[in-house]
Amino acid sequence: MSALSEAPDRSGRLLVLALGCTLRGDDGVGPAVLQELAAQGPLLDGVDLVDGGTPGLETALLLEGYQRAIIIDAAEMGRRPGEWARLEVDPEGSLQGRGVEDGALPQATTLHQAGLAEALVLGATLRVLPEAVTIYGVQPLECGWSAGLSGPVKAAIGEVCRAIGDEIGSAEAAGQAKLRGNHGQDSRH
């Protein structure tokens, strides 16, 4: 029996996957956003928050079985540090850029581009990609061997969390997830 056939049942679930290393400066923005989302209180039932670290091709397995996935990562986009963009992944596993502003992004790449890009294509080839995959990329200032985020990247966390919260809320409105706790009241801020 292959590893792909042993995946847990995640149908109808949404994955929020943070990529990055907190010991590499702004590369830790994914885990920082994930931590802030978790600190804001209960999310929707059917949403899994996962710190994926710095995986390679095994990212395809982390995505397997989910209906939707949101990936958060540092991304080299040629923008000012702290600027972010929402990127969509097409059914073939390729990134489609759509910036915070109306303009299209130049060829955006996450700092884990080789591993993430290859994992997305592999996932598409193996037909394990979720129906919808979105990447929130944040332009880093510094990704050397030091813990902690730069000021501009740290300042972007709240806005990125709000955008992801709105996207999760849209999933709920579309009937893809149900609220957990408090008799159906949304407890996000």
Kindly report, residue by residue over 9-22, the tens digit of the pLDDT. Answer: 777 899 999 999 99
* Residue 104 Cα distances to 77, 100, 137, angstroms: 11, 9, 14
Kindly report, residue by residue over 117-165, the tens digit of the pLDDT. Answer: 888 888 899 898 999 999 999 999 998 898 899 999 999 999 999 999 9
What's the pLDDT band for 57 if we cut at 50, 70, 90? confident
pLDDT at 105 over 80: no
Q: 119 with 54: CB under 8 angstroms?
A: no
Query: Which pLDDT does position 146 carry in this prediction?
Result: 86
Of residues 91 and 33, the one with the higher pLDDT is 33
- Using alpha carbons, select from 63, 59, 66, 50 the residue that is nearest to residue 14: 66
Report how far apart the first and last C-alpha atoms of the chain are (Å, whole number).
44
Query: Which pLDDT does position 50 carry in this prediction?
Result: 93
Handedness of CA 23, 27, 32, 34 (dihedral sign): negative
Give the max Cα distance, the chain. 48
Query: Which pLDDT does position 102 carry in this prediction?
Result: 39
Tell me which range, 3-12, 25-34, 163-172, is most confidently predicted by mean pLDDT. 25-34
pLDDT at 42 over 80: no
pLDDT at 40 over 90: no
Section 28-57 average pLDDT: 88
Section 53-62 average pLDDT: 83
Q: Which is the CATH superfamily of the domain at 11-78+98-140+156-175?
A: HybD-like (3.40.50.1450)
Query: Which pLDDT does position 174 carry in this prediction?
Result: 62
* Alpha-carbon gap, residue 86 to 134, rounded angstroms: 7
Tell me which range, 69-73, 74-78, 142-146, 180-184, is most confidently predicted by mean pLDDT. 69-73
Can you point out the beta strands (E) in 77-188?
84-89, 95-99, 109-110, 132-138, 178-179
3-state SS assignment for residue 20: coil
